[in-house]
Structure 1
Amino acid sequence: MKTKLTRRLLCGLIAAPALLWAGVQAHAADIKERTLRFAFVQPKESHMGYGAQKFADLVAQKSGKKMQVKLYPNGTLGGDLQTVSALQGGTIDLTTMPPGLLVGLKKEFGAFDLPFLFNDFAEADAVLDGPVGKQFMERLPNGLVGLAYWDHGFRNVSNNRRPIAKAEDFEGLKLRALQAPLMIDTFKALGANAVPMAFTELYAALESRAVDGQDNPIVAFATNRFDEVQKHLSTTRHVYNPLMVMASRKAWDSLSADERKVLMDAANEARIEQRRVSREMEAKALAEIRKKGVLVTEVSPQERERMREKVKPVTDKYVKEIGEDVVSSFHAEIDKVRTAR
């Protein structure tokens, strides 16, 4: 007991000067008392919510508690597309979402939703953390400022009718799709009936059987309790979704250089921890889903390759729309990772 108490006291003595110094620096910097609104569609208990809370804690710490970030989870301020509009208008200050949802504003953001582009997390991280990721931050539509890339995970398909083990199993399924043309066309190419729908409407649509199924990362499936309204989950891993943390340009322009640095540093510092936790949560969530009675079908690499071939016409079509140079830059970074192995 004495040893534990001694360790705690030592940790406190070591940490106190660092926290005090952070407070002194924040006081000396050009930082004002302000509260920023951070809206996102997933629950606070999700990997998205974890990242947002970590970010909020870091902003408070780095600003000497002058800057506070208030979280609005569960789509309480609207779905993703509404949030983008509010961000551009300045009524929301911060958000995080898959960048593919911005394709309606800039077509090149469709590159993030190209089916079966990445094989694993290492390939995705290499693209996001390298020059390609930086270029996309600079290409954001008007009214948006990019801060960092977090992890959302690989999307997997669930449904109420049957297991999906091969490409033919998609035939005739009514699947909710992200409100992005590329995602809609991908499901159509696989033989499903795609129903574009906001995430905030999804649970009710699954419960009422308005749609048979949907696709989302496993953590999103678990934290949104889709196990209550879905029987089958298949590890299709057809699209990798990063999360792009963005600020409103109106809010950003009202901040001092020191305040902007606080937000940028906090977002990138949170990135490392958020990715680690998100990927740990995925493994735990999959085990929990199985315990709750969801039938999980592991899709083989061979069948995933067949799915890739089936959607190739869609990929070719959108590569032309997105820009062959843009997609080539993705592949160049991916090839570096594959060659190094």
Structure 2
Amino acid sequence: MQDALFARVSGLARRVLPLLGACLLAPALAAAQQPAVRELDIADYRAYLTDDHPVRQGMRRFAQLVESGSEGRMRVRVRTDALPGTPAQQLAALHSGARGAPALMLVAGTGLAAAAPDFVLLDLPFLVRDEAHADALLDGPFGDALLARLENGKGGLVGLAWWENGFRQITTSGAPVKGAADLRGLKLRVIGEPVFVEGARAMGADPIPLPFGALYEALKTRRVDAQDNFISQILAGRLHEVQSSLSLTGHSYSPLVLVANPAAWTGLSPAQQRVIRAAASEAGRFQRSAAREEARQAQAQLARHGLAIHAPAPAELDLLRASTAPLRTRYFSRHGDDLWRLYQEQDGAR
């Protein structure tokens, strides 16, 4: 009888165990058949941005768009740190995929001139007239051609989309800049790059190259009389404490570019690349809008802090635009007729 019972139990075990094993293996097999989630990270070239800064907002929007566009098969981690070093060192680390480097990074157009010299054109005075002109230039053939040159340059980075820092305006500690004559001989702090120095000189000012970290003290001690910067940066740097007026010259425009490490980019499938590009462009439009709203709010806050706001007459801005025209022509002549043609076509379409 025991033998019969044993036989029945053994038979039952032979039937149940395979079923139990299949049940246990099914979730593991299903998980193995699911495509792996591809993870990327994105950072800005600056670590000091606040959580509500338009760039931080834009990066979060980008991450959301990538995840939804890929139906959850790609995720982007938004980083709050930045690569150490100068812009050139940051770009080198990004390109080589150095330890700690992100797959994607936002870089100022100014910094990209080290990787693709044509990007220096973006820093020319009065190249961009207003926000609508900026959008038309960068989202059109001119902007596409520049991004293509970035990928073909010595940096080999992949340019994905245009974001924004904004327009530079001038603050002074003495008389405001109401017209072209007010810039003559004015000791104006500028970024220490030739195009900024030459641009200030073409407008009639006396350019004094200084790093931003030394600017507040230089203005306080009157080593320099004036400076130019984005409105949000003027507020963040508390420059209203050592300046008396803000002139809305809008003489220089600074875009941001979302770029990718080439190895990380080629590791994506064509479908994944399309998702990334589409998300980068849409998030860039969102970020530009947020940056412009922040500038308007910062201007109102600066006024509340007592900074006098002046808007030079259009005729005065035209004089400055004309005085800097030879500089734009000279710089464009160094970078090929095609970019000049594309720029003129867009400028003439306005």
Is the Cα contact below 8 Å between 1:79 and 1:200 reproduced in 2? no
Q: Which residue number corresponds to residue 31 of structure 1?
A: 37
> Where do 1:97-246 residues align within 5 Å?
97-140=107-150, 141=153, 142-199=155-212, 202-203=215-216, 206=219, 211-246=224-259
Q: After the TM superposition, which of the residue ranges 160-169 and 171-180 deviates more from structure 2? A: 171-180
Amino acid in the other structure paired with 1:31: V
Is the Cα contact below 8 Å between 2:59 and 2:78 reproduced in 1? no
1:79-99: CA deviations, max 9, x gaps?
A: 534432332232332322332
TM-score (norm 2): 0.77
Q: After the TM superposition, which of the residue ranges 52-61 and 293-302 deviates more from structure 2? A: 52-61
Is the Cα contact below 8 Å between 1:39 and 1:83 reproduced in 2? no
Aligned-pair CA distance for 1:327: 1.7
The partner residue of 1:67 within 71, 75, 85 is: 75
Gaps of 5+ in 1: 1-26
Aligned length: 309
1:220 to 1:82, Cα distance in 2 relative to 1, 3 A: farther
1:76-121: CA deviations, max 9, x gaps?
A: 7345344323322323323223324323443322222222123222
Aligned counterparts of 1:204 and 1:72: Cα–Cα separation in 2: 28
Is the Cα contact below 8 Å between 1:80 and 1:198 reproduced in 2? no
Aligned counterparts of 1:49 and 1:173: Cα–Cα separation in 2: 36
Q: Which residue number corresponds to residue 10 of structure 1?
A: none
Q: Which residue number corresponds to residue 46 of structure 1?
A: 53
Amino acid in the other structure paired with 2:280: A
Gaps of 5+ in 2: 1-32
Amino acid in the other structure paired with 2:90: T
CA RMSD of aligned residues (A): 2.9
Q: Which residue number corresponds to residue 15 of structure 1?
A: none
Is the Cα contact below 8 Å between 2:137 and 2:346 reproduced in 1? yes
Aligned-pair CA distance for 1:302: 0.9
Aligned counterparts of 1:59 and 1:326: Cα–Cα separation in 2: 31
Q: Which residue number corresponds to residue 20 of structure 2?
A: none
Is the Cα contact below 8 Å between 1:43 and 1:224 reproduced in 2? no
Is the Cα contact below 8 Å between 2:126 and 2:324 reproduced in 1? no
TM-score (norm 1): 0.78
Is the Cα contact below 8 Å between 2:167 and 2:252 reproduced in 1? yes
Aligned-pair CA distance for 1:294: 1.2
Aligned counterparts of 2:75 and 2:138: Cα–Cα separation in 1: 28
Aligned-pair CA distance for 1:68: 3.3
Aligned counterparts of 1:214 and 1:270: Cα–Cα separation in 2: 31
Q: Which residue number corresponds to residue 283 of structure 1?
A: 296
Amino acid in the other structure paired with 2:162: Y
1:164-204: CA deviations, max 9, x gaps?
A: 11223223333332343222200122233334445566556
Aligned counterparts of 1:150 and 1:29: Cα–Cα separation in 2: 32
Is the Cα contact below 8 Å between 2:240 and 2:305 reproduced in 1? yes
1:19-61: CA deviations, max 9, x gaps?
A: xxxxxxxx955533x3524132362333233222322343455
Aligned counterparts of 1:328 and 1:185: Cα–Cα separation in 2: 23
Aligned counterparts of 1:101 and 1:151: Cα–Cα separation in 2: 13
Amino acid in the other structure paired with 1:267: A
1:2-23: CA deviations, max 9, x gaps?
A: xxxxxxxxxxxxxxxxxxxxxx
1:76 to 1:310, Cα distance in 2 relative to 1, 3 A: same
Q: Bigger radius of gyration, 1 or 2? A: 2
Is the Cα contact below 8 Å between 1:30 and 1:259 reproduced in 2? no
Aligned counterparts of 1:260 and 1:187: Cα–Cα separation in 2: 41
Aligned-pair CA distance for 1:62: 4.6
2:62 is paired with a residue whose SS is helix
Amino acid in the other structure paired with 2:44: A
Larger RCO (CA within 8 A; separation ≥ 6)? 1
Is the Cα contact below 8 Å between 1:35 and 1:68 reproduced in 2? yes
